[in-house]
Structure 1
Amino acid sequence: MSLILLVEQTLNGLQFGVMLFLMAAGLTLVFGVMGLINLAHGSLYMIGAFAAAAMAQASGSFLLALAASLVCAAFAGVLIEVLVIRRLYDRDHLDQVLATFALILIFSEGTRWLFGSFPLFLDKPEWLSGTVILPFGIEYSLYRLAIILVGLAVAAGLFWMIARTRVGIRIRAGENDREMIAALGVNISRLYTFVFALGAALAGFAGALVGTIQSVQVGMGEPVLILAFVVIVIGGIGSIKGAFIGALLVGLTETLGRFLLPEAFALVFDPATARSVGASLASMSIYILMAGVLIFRPKGLFGSA
């Protein structure tokens, strides 16, 4: 086993983790503040990816593509919150699940109608192409490294907003006692719309960043949404800190599991069997991690009652 390859896979796990954090942060904010289960969050990820791909094809600018992903996903989030979600706050979780699942179908078919069934491709900009030499001579993708740095910067900004700004104080208060902050004069509807739009923008931004690594296609958000739910269960529902730690744990577990488990089983089985068994266990590893966390911390690592 090469040490350089191990470091590269660890960095890939970090890159996957920060992308999951962008998805899970919005999801845990929406659930923590509004008490809403939003299955359509993966559709906002898809909207951001398609908006970025369309803008990149129209303008040739990667930065404009990223801006388009933020704006379009946030705008879609505002429309969803105003037209649909506001009617679900006082309903039980089953109604929320059914309504947001219907939104998945609407967005999937609408996207297929607008862009067709064939995948789109978002190219990396030239200034982020190629590789960069890290310490000890490790060669790594410049674009993947940029995703890690941007994701960490977004995480730092989100932590600062939640901890240090007036909006963050209202969000934290809304998690604990929404009736009280409404009684104190805070426009709770406006706060809910802002939180939902922020979560949507983060999901769309994640979709745009990943759109250059994989193809942009209808339904691309649902597998990521499942992992985002795993992240917030591990980290604790409503906790941004928990979402960050949980996302890194899931990203590293999934990526390193696919790399290390086949290597380990190759010591016992033939290479073909080792790859098959290792890949199967790697797919299960994040759920084993989640089960292990819940055994000892039923509310997640940083969850509150």
Structure 2
Amino acid sequence: MNTILILEQLLNGLQFGLMLFLLAAGLTLVFGIMDLINLAHGSLYMLGAYLIATIAAASGSFWLGLAAGTAATAVLGLVLEKTTIQRFYKRDHLSQVMGTFAILLMANEAVRMIWGPQPLQLSPPDALAGPVELWPGFFYSAYRLFIIAMGLLVAAVLYVLITRTRIGMQVRAGASNREMALAMGANVRWLFSGLFVFGAVLCALAGGLLGPLLSVQVGMGESILILAFVVVVIGGIGSIRGALLGALLVGLVDTAGRTLIPVLFRQLMAPDIAASAGPAVASILIYVLMAAVLFFKPSGLFPARG
């Protein structure tokens, strides 16, 4: 287990964690302020990836596909919120789970009917297709570095938006005490619609950026939605800071665990046992992390609610 491998996996974990943050940021704000359990969040991630891949293939430009596909997903998010999601705001959580899960299933079938069952190909831009030498002897993917930079940029923009603007003040007030924020005159309809569309934009951005690394296929939103909920639980509901820290922890633990634990097990036990035990242990590490955080801090690391 050499230093180059460890550094590479740390960067991979940072990149994956920042993409989880894009998903978890919208999810935690929708849950924290709107009190809505939105399982359709993963569908917006999937639809964003499909729209970006389709537009990029038709135009021959990854950047045009990313911009236009993200904008189209924002419009879809607005239509979905106005026509369907609004009906769940005053319903109990069980109704929200069942209703948004139904949307997720219908979105999967709609994607299968429109694009077919085969995965779509989304290639990174040519300028970022190769590796770069970070220091002598250590090469790393230029596209993954771009994803890290984009994730950090979005995190910085969110920090400024949440902590330095009037809209951010309303968002923080709503996450801390929703009823009081409404009583103080926050524009509920505009705030809820804006937050949902904002979450859709972050979903599409994550789907488009991860598309060249992961397969753009039907059902791709379910597995990553589970990780996003783990991030929200670890970080604390309604907290952007908690979502960022939780996403980085989950990204690093998941990526490093899947790579380093099988290597470690092969050194400590027989190859046949290590081949089955290593991946099994690595796959449950993030849930062990979540259980440990909830044991010591049941409300998450940085809960926003008072």
TM-score range, shorter chain: over 0.9
1:45-124 correspondence runs (5 A): 45-124=45-124
* TM-score, normalised relative to structure 2: 0.96
Instruction: Please say if residues 175 and 239 of structure 2, whose CA atoms lie closer than 8 Å, have aligned partners that are also in contact.
Output: no
Q: What is the DSSP-based 3-state SS (H/G/I as helix, E as strand, rest coil) of the residue aligned with 2:139?
A: strand
Instruction: Please say if residues 14 and 252 of structure 2, whose CA atoms lie closer than 8 Å, have aligned partners that are also in contact.
Output: yes
- Is the alpha carbon distance of 1:183 and 1:287 closer, same or farther for their aligned partners in structure 2, counting shifts above 3 Å? closer
Q: Alpha-carbon deviation of 1:247? A: 0.4
Matched AA of 1:203 = C
1:28-43 correspondence runs (5 A): 28-43=28-43
Cα distance in 1 for residues equivalent to 2:163 and 2:293: 26
Runs in 1 of length 4+ with deviation above 6 angstroms? none
Q: Alpha-carbon deviation of 1:173? A: 1.9
1:127-276 correspondence runs (5 A): 127-276=127-276
Matched AA of 2:270 = D
Q: Alpha-carbon deviation of 1:111? A: 1.1
Q: What is the DSSP-based 3-state SS (H/G/I as helix, E as strand, rest coil) of the residue aligned with 2:269?
A: coil
Q: Which runs of 5+ in 2 are unaligned?
A: none
Please give the per-residue CA displacement for 1:149-185, whole angstroms capped at 9, x wherever unaligned: 1011001101110111111111112223444444444
Q: What is the DSSP-based 3-state SS (H/G/I as helix, E as strand, rest coil) of the residue aligned with 2:133?
A: strand
Farther-moved stretch of structure 1 (113-122 vs 172-181): 172-181
Matched AA of 1:224 = I
Cα distance in 2 for residues equivalent to 1:256 and 1:201: 28
Instruction: Please say if residues 265 and 274 of structure 2, whose CA atoms lie closer than 8 Å, have aligned partners that are also in contact.
Output: yes
Q: Which runs of 5+ in 1 are unaligned?
A: none
Q: What is the DSSP-based 3-state SS (H/G/I as helix, E as strand, rest coil) of the residue aligned with 1:266?
A: helix
Cα distance in 1 for residues equivalent to 2:265 and 2:43: 37
Instruction: Give the CA RMSD over aligned residues.
Output: 1.3
Q: Aligned residues: percent identity?
A: 56
Query: How many pairs are equivalent?
Result: 305
Q: What is the DSSP-based 3-state SS (H/G/I as helix, E as strand, rest coil) of the residue aligned with 1:91?
A: coil
Cα distance in 2 for residues equivalent to 1:252 and 1:179: 36
Q: What is the DSSP-based 3-state SS (H/G/I as helix, E as strand, rest coil) of the residue aligned with 1:118?
A: coil
Matched AA of 1:209 = L
Q: What is the DSSP-based 3-state SS (H/G/I as helix, E as strand, rest coil) of the residue aligned with 2:200?
A: helix
Cα distance in 2 for residues equivalent to 1:178 and 1:150: 31
Cα distance in 1 for residues equivalent to 2:54 and 2:263: 41
Q: What corresponds to 1:19 in structure 2?
A: 19
